[in-house]
Structure 1
Amino acid sequence: MKINKLSYAIITALSASSLAMAQDATEVKEGPKIETIEVTATKRTESIQDVPVTVSALSGQALENLGVDNFQDYVEFLPNVVFQGTGPGQNEIYIRGAATSQTNIAVSTVQALQPSVAFYLDEQPVSMQGRNLDIYAADVARVEVLPGPQGTLFGASSQSGTVRMITNKPNFNGFSGGVDLGASFTKDGEMSNSVEAFMNFTLRDDLAVRVTAYNDNQGGWIDNIRNEPGEGGYIGSAIVIDRISGGVLPDASQASVVSPNNDALVEKDSNDAIYSGVRVGVAHEINADWDLLVQHTQQQLDTEGVFAYDPNLEGTQSVNRFQADKNSDTFGLTTWTLSGRLAELEVVYTGGFLDRDIASTVDYTGYTNGGLFAAYYVCNHYTAATPADVECLDPTKFYKEDTDTSRVTHEFRVNTDASKDWRITAGVFYDSQELSTVGQFKIANTELFPNLARTTVGQEGINSDGGPFNSEVSFVNDVTHGIDQIALFGQAEYDITDTVTVSLGARWYEIEDEYKGSTSTVDVTRRIRAFGSLDPAELAAVGEDPAAIDAAIASGQLDVSLLDDDGVLTVDDVIYKASIDWKPNDDLLVFATYSEGFRPPVTNRVGGGLATNQSGAFDGFRIPVYSTTDTLKNYEIGMKGDFLDGILRVNATAYMSEITDLQTSRFDPTNISFLVFTDNVGDAEIQGIDGDITWLATDNLVIDASFSILDTELTRINAELDGIAPPVGAALPYSADFSGNLRARYFYEMDNGLTGFVNGSLVYTGDRLAGMSMDAYVLEDTTRLVYGVGSGLSIENEAPVYDGVGYTDTNGNLFAGGRYIQDGYTLANVAFGVTNDEWKAEIYIDNLFDERAVLHIDNQQFTPKVVTNRPRTIGFRLSYDFY
C-alpha cells in the first residue's frame, strides 16, 4: 500500500479521534495509520490515546476542512456537547446532558448563574458568569473537549466538562504566513464574507512573534416584518389583560387599544453578525531550560437584530421587533506562561487578565404579555371607572445593558519526571472575577406614568451615578458581583505494573462571593447584609419581620449559614478524582474513573422575600437568599483502541452521573416574584455512552463518526416546585437521547501535482425538551390571545392538573404542565476542492437540504420564538500558505 506525502497529510488532517489527528508526521510502516495528536487534558502533554480519561478533539486542520470558525459550528461536531442561547455571544455550553435553565439572556448578567462547563483559551479559564465568551476559531491548533467532571485539575464550573481552545503559538522555524478568504450566499439572505491571516516571524534565534487577524461579516436572513394589528402580529394588550386582570375587562372589545408600530424598523435580513479581532503572541527562549510566552487577544463581536423567528408569522424567517436590537461584545485577554525546569521538576506559572464589555439594546415589548405585573404598565384598567374607560396605550418597551466583566487568574504548578513509575502534578490557583452591570428597563407607558425617572434605592449607585436616567426608564438594575477563589490541587499517578496505573486527585477550594448594589425597588447590599447578620433592626429596615425570618430558618425553609455579617458568602470543600487504567498492548487502553465537579452558590437580589402567592405549594415559601452548591459525581469506564493494523480507531466511554441540588433559574411573576432568581430544583441522574470511530477505508477515503446516547431523569424535586418543575422521572432539558455525526473525505490525484477532494458530513440531533419550567401550555394560551392561534410547536405533556396543583393565573385557573419539544433535525454539508502544498480552493454547500433546525426555543417575550440555523449557504474558500 503506497501513499504520497500530500495524500498522507490529508488523511492525517481528517482522521481525528472525534476527528483529531496528529500535527507531526510519523513513520508509515504497513500502510497509512491514524495519527494521534498530543493533548494537555491532564496538564501534561500526552498522546490522546494514552490519556486515561475521555477526550475528544478537533484539530486545526479538521476545523478548516469542516469550515468551522465560530462557537455554534464547532459544537455541532461534538455530539456530547450542546449549546443553548439566542445568537452569537449569547450561548451556554452543556456536556453529557447536565443541563438546566439559564435565565433569559437579557438579564443573565444580573443573575450571574455560573456555567456548568469551563471554557479555556489555551491555559486560561475564560468562562464568565452570565454569558460564555464566543471566541472565533482562527489559527487554532485544536479544540479539546473533556467530558465529565474535571474539577480537580480545572476547578469550579468544570462540573460536567471542560472545553479548551488551543491556539497556534509562535515558532522558531523562520518566516511563514497564510491567508484565507471566503464568500458565501445564503438562501433568502445576505451575502457573507471573511478574511483570516497569520504571520510568524523569527526575530532572533530565541525570539519569535506570531500575529493572527480576522474579520468575518455574516449576513442576516431573518426579516423584521411590519406589524399588522389583528392580522397575526401584536394586537395590543387588552385581550391578555382580559385573562389576567380578574375580570375587569368583561368585553375586551370595549377597551381602547393602541398597537405598537414598527414601520421604521421593517428590514429584510436584519440579523447581521461581525467578528473581528487580532491575536499577537511573543515567545522567548530565555535559556535551555526556560521559556516565556506572552499573548494578547482582542475581539469585537457586533450583532444586529435577533436570531430567532416567530412561528406565528410568515414561514421561518419573520419576526416583529419594535426596538432596534443590538449587541456589542468586546473583550481583551492578556496571558502569560513561564515554563522551565528545576532539577527534575517541570515548573509552570501561568496567568491572565480578561476584560469584557457588553452593551446591548433588547426589544422588550413582549413583556406586556407576561402576566399580572406587566399588564399594569400599559393599561389603566386598575383605575378605570368602567370597561369603556379602559385604555391600553403603546406597549413598546426596551432593555438596555452595560456590563463590564473582569477576571484575573494565576496558577503555579509542578510536574515530576514523566518517565518514572510515579508522577505528581500539584499546584495552587487563584481567581478573581468581578461583574458590574447597569440595566435600564423601559417598562411603563409614559402617558400613564409621566414621572418615571428613577434613582437606585438607598445609595447613589454602584456602577452609575445613581440617576436620574432618561425619562423613559422605569426600572434599573445596578449591581456588582465579585467572586474570589483560591485552590490547591494535585494528582498522583503510580504504575503498579508495566500495564496497570492508578491515579488519585484532589482539590481544596475556598470561594468568597459578594453581591452588592440595588434595583429600583430593592437595596440589594443592605438586604443581603441583613440576612447575614440577622440583626432585627436591619431586617426590619428591609421590610422583613425578624420573628418570621427566625422561624423560616429554624424550619429549614431558609438557609443563611454561608453569609457573614457583611453579606459575603463563603464556601469551601474538597473534591476528588480516582482512576485505574490497563494497557494490555500498545494499541489498547481500558480505564475506569470516579470524579467530582461543582458549581458555587449564587446570591439572589430579592432573597428571603415571601412569595406573592401564599397558597398551596407556596404557603410560607420564601425566595432562597442564595442557591446552594450543586455537585456532580461521575462514574465511567472506557476504552481506546486502534485495530486492523492501525486503520480503525474506536474510542468509547460508558458513564453514570449523579447531580445533587441542581441549580436552575426561576421566573414566576404570578406566584412568586417578578424578579428572576436561582434555586435548587432537586437531584438528577444521567446515564450515557460516548463514542468516536475513525476508519481509513481506503488509501483515498477517510470516514469518521461520533455519537452520544443519553438517558437523563430527575430523581428528586423540591416540594415547593411540585407542579412547577418537571416531575420525578422527567428528562433534563436540551440534550437528545441520541445525537451523532458522520463525516467522510475522499481525495484523488490530479495532474501537475494537484490533489482533488470531496468532503461530506451529516449531523443528527434528536428531540430535546426546552427548559426546566413546565410553562408551555401557559405560553400557548398567551400566544393564542396575542396572535389568535397557537405556535404550532410540539409540547410534552408532563403534568396534567392534579390535586389543585398546577400553573395558576390570577383568576384561579389551573393549567396542565408541559415543556416545548425542540424537534430533532439532520444537517448535511458538502464541499469540493483542489489543493497542493501551498494553496487550496474549495466550493461548499452548508445545510444542503435547507433544514430549519429548532436549536432553541426562547420564551423571554412570553410567546415562543425559535432560534434557528442559517438556511442553505453556498460559498467558496481560498487559502494560501507561504514559507
Structure 2
Amino acid sequence: MKLTKLHCAVLTAFATSGYASAEEIEPQDKAKIEVINVTATKRTESIQDVPVTVTAISGESLEKLGVASFDEYVEFLPNVVFQGTGPGQNEIYIRGAATTQTSIAVSSVQALQPSVAFYLDEQPVSMQGRNLDIYATDVERVEVLPGPQGTLFGASSQSGTVRLITKKPSHDGFEAGFDTSFRSTKGGDISNSVEAYFNMSLRDDLAVRVVAFNDFQGGWIDNILNVPGEGGYIGSAEVISRISNDALTNPGSVPVISPKNDTLVEDNTNTANYAGTRIGLSYLINDDWDLLVQHTQQSLDTEGVFAYDPNLEGESSTNRFVPENNNDDFGLTTWTLEGRLEHLDLVYTGGYLDREINSTIDYTGYTNGGSFAAYYACNYAGAPETQICVDPTKFYKEETDTSRVTHELRFNTTGDNDWRVTAGVFYDSQEVSTVGLFQLGNTDLPYFTDLQKELKGTDGINSDGGPFSSEISFVNDITHTIDQIAFFGQFEYDISDTVTASFGARWYEIEDKFKGATTTVDVSGRLQAYGDGSDAALTEFFGAAEAEAIQAAIANGQLDTSLLDSDGTLTVDDTIIKASVDWKVNKDVLLFASYSEGFRPPVTNRVGGGLAKNQQGAFDGFRIPVYSTTDSLDNFEVGFKSTLLDQNLRLNATAYYSDISDLQTSRFDPTNISFLVFTDNVGDAEIRGIDGDFSYVATDNLVLSGAFSLIDSELTSVNPELDGIAPPVGSQLPYSAELSGNLQAQYYFELDGDLTGFVNGSVSYTGDRYTGMTMDAYVLEDATNLVYGTGSGLDIKREADLFTGVNYTDSNGNAFAGGRYVQDSYVLANIAIGVTNDAWKAEFFINNITDESAILYVDTQQFTPKVVTNRPMTVGFRFSYDFY
C-alpha cells in the first residue's frame, strides 16, 4: 500500500503518542519514528540524544488522548503521581519520592515545599500544596524529567521537573482553528468545551498568537440527605463520651445532635469550569535577537467536592453541610529575550505571577477527633442537667493572594565545539498572604461566647465588628515570603567522538520568613524570640519558666534555632552537583549514567517549640520543631535510548537508586490537636526503580506505544519521636504503586477522497498504594464507626501491633493497631473513533469504558476517610477545524 503524505505524517506523529511528536515527512512506503527536540537541559537537543531520562507528551498526543488537565494526562506518565482533593488542590510526585503534604485547609500557611518543580515554558509556577492547575490548550508538548534536576531547575526539583511548553507565535503567516467537544457522564451532568486560536504575522518581524478556552465539567457526586443510622452523620459519640461520667454510663442523658443538610441536597454537585486566554507576541529585533512576551489569564471555579463518603451506599454520594467552592484565578506575564553575542547564546527570561484563591470548605468533621473535640460541639461544665451539645456544623473560609517574580540570565556556548558550557544566575521572590477564618465551635456555647468577647477587643481580628464577628472562632493571618538567589553551571566535554562527560553545580541561598499571627499565637514574635536567642528576648515573649525550659531544649539539641536571625528569618545555603557520562554506541543507541542531587528547603513552623499537650509515651518531653530541616535526595541512574528496526521501534529504559535523607512530612496528631499542623522530618528512605517506554510502527496502519514504572521504596530509618506513629522501617512510601503502566494503539485506514479514518485505544494500570506517613487508619476507622454507625469498608494495611500516636482505646476497649489505608489498584481504558483530512477532524470517544471507580486519593483531614475518585464512564463527540 502506498501511503499519502497526510497518512505518513499522522502515523509518524502517533508513533510517538504519549512521548513525542514528529515533523511532517515526505511520502514513503513505511512510516518511521521521528522524535522532537526538547529543552530539558536548557539547550535544544533531540530527545534521543539527551543523556538523561526525558519523557515528552506532544500536543497532538494530548489531543488524541482527549485530555486537557493534569490529573487526566498524568495517567499516561506512570512514574508521575498526582495526589489531592480536586482541581487546583493537588501535589505532584515522581518516582515514589512522596510524603504527607499538609491538608488543603491550611496548605497556604503551613505546607511543605514541592518535591517536583512545575514550569510553564521558562517560568517555575509550583507552589506548596496547591500547584497551578493549568489548562493544556494549544500546547507544543509536556516534558517530564524524572530524578533530581536541581542544578538547572532549583529547589523544588528534588525528584523531578514537569514543563508545560506552549505553542509560540509563528512568523510564517496566518493560521487559526477551533476545537469543541460535548460529553455526557454516566450518572452525571453534561460537559462541554470550546478552544480557539489564531496566529497572525503582523509584519515580517512581528507575530501574535491568541488562544481562548472555556471548559465546563459537569459533576457526578451527589450530596444526599443526611440520615443518621443509615450511614449518615450521627454525631460525634467520641465528643459525647467526654462530657461526663454520667454520659458514659447513660449516653442518652445528653442527646447527640446531628448536622442537617436538607437545603443542600443536590445531584452532581462537583462542577469545575476552566476559562481563560493566552496572548503571545514575538518580535524579531534583528538577525541575532528576538523577544517573546506572553500573558496567560485563567480562572478555575469549582463547587462541591470531588470525593465520596465510603460509609454511604454507592461510590458517588456524600454528606456535606456547608456549600463548598474554590475560586482560583491567576495571571502570568512572562518575557524571554534571546540573542547571540560573539560565540555565546544569551537568554534572559522572567515572569510575574499573581494568583488569588477564595475557598469555602465544610469543616464539620473537625469535631470527629482530637483532644478538644468536646469544646467544639458541647459544654460539659457544671451539673449534668446543664450539659448541652449543639449542631456541630463548621466551615473554613480562605482568602489567599500569591505573587511571584522570577528572573534568570543564562548563556550557552555554541554546540560545534568539543566542550560546551551552560551557566547562569536565578532570582525568585514569592509572597503568600493568607487569611483563614475557621468556625470551629458553636458560638452559642459559653466557651465561645467568652472567646468572641476577647476577639472583639483584639486589634486586627474582627475589630470592626464585621460579618464574621459572631461566627469565627479561630483566625490565621499569615504572610509567608521566600526569596532565593542561585548561580548554576554545567560543563560538557567530548572525551571522544562517542563519549561525553558533564558536570554541573548550583549554589543557592534561600530566605524564608513568616509574619503574622493566629488567634492564639503571635507567629512573628515567637520566631523573633527564637532568632534572638537571648534570655531577655525569650523571657519577654514566653515568660521566665518557659524561657528556661526552651533554653534547656536548645542546649540539649532537642530544638534547633541556628538558622534563624533576630528578625525571625530562616536562611539556608548550600551547593548541589550533578555528573554524567554518555556513550553513543552507534547512531541508534545511547548509553548513559549519572549522579545528581536534589533538595527541599526547611519549612518554618508557626507553632514551633510548643510543648506537647500529651506528655505520655512518645510525647514525653516532646516539643514541636521550630522548623523542619532540609531533606535531600541523592540519585544514581543508568539507562539507554535506542531507535531500532530501521527506525520502526524506539525503546528507552532507565534504572535508578535514590537515597533520601531527613524526609520531610506534615503532622496532625489527633491527641495533640493544639499543634494544628506542623512539619517534621520522618527519617530516611531508599527508592529503587526502573522506567521504560516504547513506540513501535507495527504495520503501515498500526502504531503501538506504552510505558511502565517499577518502584521499590522503603523507609530505612525513623526518627525517635515518630517511632510508632510513622510506618516502621521497611515500609513502603505513600502514593506510588510498585507497578504502573499504560499501552496505546492507533490504527489508521484510508477512506474515499482525502479522508483518513482512525481508531485510538488506551489502557492504563496503577497498582496498590498506601496513604500518608502516619499509621492512623484504625483510629480513623474507629471514629468513622462512632460518627456514622458503620465503617468505611476501605482496605487497611496493618503495619504495627500498636499505634503509639494515641493513648486511648477504641469503643471495645482494645488498643489501636498501626496501619494505613490502601488505595486499591485500578485499570482505566479509553477509545476514540474518527475521521480526519488536512483541515478538520471529527471523533466519537468513550473515556473510562469499564466505568471504573478508582481510589485516586484518601482524604483524612476531617478524621474520617473520604475517597477522591475519577470521572465515571463518559461518552462524547469532538470536532476541530484548522484554517491555513
Which residue is 1:627 aligned to? 628
CA-CA distance at 1:113 after TM superposition:
1.6
| Secondary structure of 1:752 counterpart | coil
CA-CA distance at 1:456 after TM superposition:
7.3
Which residue is 1:599 aligned to? 600
* Paired residues for 1:398-797 under 5 Å: 398-448=395-445, 449-453=448-452, 460-461=459-460, 469-543=468-542, 545-671=546-672, 673-797=674-798
Moved more, 107-116 or 446-455: 446-455
Contact 2:809 2:815 in 1 (8 A): no
Moved more, 302-311 or 665-674: 665-674
Which residue is 1:340 aligned to? 339
CA-CA distance at 1:777 after TM superposition:
0.1
CA-CA distance at 1:236 after TM superposition:
1.8
Which residue is 2:19 aligned to? 19
| Whole-angstrom distance in 1 between the partners of 2:863 and 2:244 | 17
| Secondary structure of 1:152 counterpart | helix
Q: Which runs of 5+ in 2 are unaligned?
A: none
* Paired residues for 1:112-191 under 5 Å: 112-191=111-190
CA-CA distance at 1:745 after TM superposition:
0.4
Contact 1:91 1:132 in 2 (8 A): yes
CA-CA distance at 1:495 after TM superposition:
0.1
| Whole-angstrom distance in 1 between the partners of 2:246 and 2:579 | 62
CA-CA distance at 1:230 after TM superposition:
2.7
| Secondary structure of 1:20 counterpart | coil
| Whole-angstrom distance in 1 between the partners of 2:635 and 2:27 | 39
C-alpha RMSD of the superposition? 1.9
Q: Deviations over 1:492-547 (max 9, x none)?
A: 00000000000000000000001110000000000011111113233234336222
| Secondary structure of 2:377 counterpart | coil
Contact 1:152 1:576 in 2 (8 A): yes
Q: Deviations over 1:195-236 (max 9, x none)?
A: 000000110000000000000000000000011123221112
| Whole-angstrom distance in 1 between the partners of 2:232 and 2:287 | 70
Q: TM-score, normalised by structure 2?
A: 0.97
Q: Deviations over 1:163-194 (max 9, x none)?
A: 00000000001110010010000001000000
Which residue is 1:68 aligned to? 67
| Whole-angstrom distance in 2 between the partners of 1:467 and 1:631 | 46
Contact 1:237 1:392 in 2 (8 A): no
CA-CA distance at 1:669 after TM superposition:
3.7
Q: Deviations over 1:427-471 (max 9, x none)?
A: 000000000000000011122133554787998449998978431
Which residue is 2:107 aligned to? 108
Moved more, 550-559 or 174-183: 550-559
CA-CA distance at 1:372 after TM superposition:
1.7
2:639 is matched by which residue type in structure 1? G
Contact 1:159 1:598 in 2 (8 A): yes
CA-CA distance at 1:146 after TM superposition:
0.2
| Whole-angstrom distance in 1 between the partners of 2:591 and 2:243 | 60
| Secondary structure of 1:372 counterpart | coil
| Whole-angstrom distance in 1 between the partners of 2:591 and 2:802 | 49
| Whole-angstrom distance in 2 between the partners of 1:211 and 1:456 | 50
CA-CA distance at 1:384 after TM superposition:
4.0
Contact 1:457 1:520 in 2 (8 A): no
| Secondary structure of 1:446 counterpart | coil
CA-CA distance at 1:25 after TM superposition:
2.8
2:383 is matched by which residue type in structure 1? A
Moved more, 126-135 or 392-401: 126-135
Distance 1:204 1:373, change over 3 A: same
Distance 1:748 1:9, change over 3 A: same
Which residue is 1:824 aligned to? 825
1:408 is matched by which residue type in structure 2? V
Q: Deviations over 1:592-612 (max 9, x none)?
A: 000000001100010001111
| Whole-angstrom distance in 1 between the partners of 2:124 and 2:180 | 30
CA-CA distance at 1:868 after TM superposition:
0.1
CA-CA distance at 1:129 after TM superposition:
2.5
Contact 2:239 2:378 in 1 (8 A): no
| Whole-angstrom distance in 2 between the partners of 1:444 and 1:813 | 30
2:302 equivalent to 1:303: yes
Which residue is 1:91 aligned to? 90
Distance 1:457 1:584, change over 3 A: farther
Which residue is 1:237 aligned to? 236
Which residue is 2:79 aligned to? 80
CA-CA distance at 1:673 after TM superposition:
3.2
1:450 is matched by which residue type in structure 2? T
1:438 is matched by which residue type in structure 2? V
Contact 2:456 2:463 in 1 (8 A): no
1:187 is matched by which residue type in structure 2? K
Q: Deviations over 1:579-628 (max 9, x none)?
A: 00000111110000000000011000100011111122211111000001
Contact 1:96 1:710 in 2 (8 A): yes
Distance 1:29 1:190, change over 3 A: closer
2:193 is matched by which residue type in structure 1? S
Q: Which runs of 5+ in 1 are unaligned?
A: none
2:383 equivalent to 1:385: yes
CA-CA distance at 1:808 after TM superposition:
2.1
| Whole-angstrom distance in 2 between the partners of 1:806 and 1:680 | 16
Which residue is 1:397 aligned to? 394
| Whole-angstrom distance in 2 between the partners of 1:722 and 1:141 | 47
1:765 is matched by which residue type in structure 2? T
Distance 1:541 1:757, change over 3 A: same
| Secondary structure of 2:677 counterpart | strand
Contact 2:481 2:514 in 1 (8 A): yes
2:861 equivalent to 1:864: no
Query: Alignment length, in residue pairs?
Result: 878
2:113 is matched by which residue type in structure 1? Q
Distance 1:420 1:456, change over 3 A: farther
